[in-house]
A and B are shown apart, each in its own frame.
Chain A
Amino acid sequence: MTITVAGEKKEYKDGLTLPELIELENVETPQYVTVSINDEFIETENKEKTVLKEGDSVEFLYFMGGGQ
């Protein structure tokens, strides 16, 4: 199936779970990343059980703390 990850269309196996995608995409500090799928935030407690489907658009939003 094709899903869009951070604006890029990619091919993944059917039934891919969000934790699997996070691992495949080498997401940094995965426990602290905010995920949105199709314009909706995924609550932390729902991350584990989220299964992706054809056409989904996934964004990873990272903490960035510096500024001084």
Chain B
Amino acid sequence: MAMTDQQIERYSRHIILKEVGAKGQKKLLNAKVLIIGAGGLGAPAAMYLAAAGVGTIGIVDADEVDLSNLQRQIIHSTADIGKPKVKSAKETMNAMNPDVEVKTYHMFVDSTNIRELIREYDFVIDGTDNFPAKFLINDACVMEKKPFSHAGIIRFKGQLMTYVPGEGPCYRCVFKNPPPKDAVPTCKQAGVIGAMGGVIGSLQAMEAVKYIVGVGKLLTGHLLTYDAVNQEFRKVKLPSDTSKCPVCGSHPTITELIDYEQEVCEETAGRFETKENQ
């Protein structure tokens, strides 16, 4: 479908880029991205993708806006306190760009709903704050052959990687199993500098846009780490042999999704064997 004069004006700074052009902008307008978590990472990712004219954006979050969110979750305002985050996010995105259809899912993802949910989307952004969700998203994306961007932030640090089926390791290739509850601190316990979500969430939006338009190299096979204290980025190459991975490897042992509880036994994290709640 041809763009309207208003769209040509709105997206002119994209269209003028030779790597994007009208063709790339139309791809964005036809694309569907799912953002899981409308928080520190999801907020900037959702805003940049809405502004970019990604035609359909799904937002999943079971929480309501809390005063303590507003230091970093810039999609929500003081007047939104108490509102479901998905509703508040949708209002901001619609106000930014009426071209975008925002679909809201006021719920938690789990093994029973995530595969069907991600199926209709082209790219998934993990903006969650806990390991059970991060492993669930990874496994579901591997099983549904969906590309996704993983990220984590804490204190003055952040990191992200991109999974594209057949193009390098998945999150589980690197981390194997979730750590026990409280073994690795969360933002709530350890704090996070507000702009960190902006840096890393915007990089996740960048990965989605680049994937959709088909430009450049993605963070597949690499983990990009950011240390704000020393203002250092590092693009760490990840091992390329994924054959032994229990979910994306050549002989997967994880073929059903796992709802990990936050508590798992002390000695079962990381590249250890773990018990799980099936």
Provide the bound-state CA to CA distance between A67 and B176, in Å: 20
Given the interface pairs A29-B183, A32-B183, the reply to whether A66 lies near B129 with Cβ below 8 Å is yes
Closest chain B residue to A43, Cβ basis: B271
Once the chains bind, are B129 and A31 in contact (CB under 8 Å)? no
Interface residues of A (CB under 8 A from B): 6-7, 29, 31-34, 36, 39-41, 43-44, 59, 61-68
Provide the bound-state CA to CA distance between A2 and B63, in Å: 50
Provide the bound-state CA to CA distance between A33 and B175, in Å: 8
Once the chains bind, are A65 and B271 in contact (CB under 8 Å)? no
Interface residues of B (CB under 8 A from A): 37, 39-42, 63, 69, 73, 126-131, 134, 151-154, 157-159, 173-176, 179, 183-187, 190, 192, 197, 223, 234, 236-241, 269-272
Number of A-B contacts (CB under 8 A): 103
Once the chains bind, are B239 and A7 in contact (CB under 8 Å)? no
**Contact pick for B128, options A34, A36, A44, A68, CB 8 Å:** A68
Once the chains bind, are B240 and A65 in contact (CB under 8 Å)? no
Once the chains bind, are B184 and A7 in contact (CB under 8 Å)? no
3 nearest A-B residue pairs (beta carbon):
A64-B152, A68-B39, A66-B187
Shortest CB distance A22–B (Å) = 13
Once the chains bind, are B223 and A39 in contact (CB under 8 Å)? no
Once the chains bind, are A65 and B175 in contact (CB under 8 Å)? no
Once the chains bind, are B271 and A61 in contact (CB under 8 Å)? no
Once the chains bind, are B271 and A64 in contact (CB under 8 Å)? no
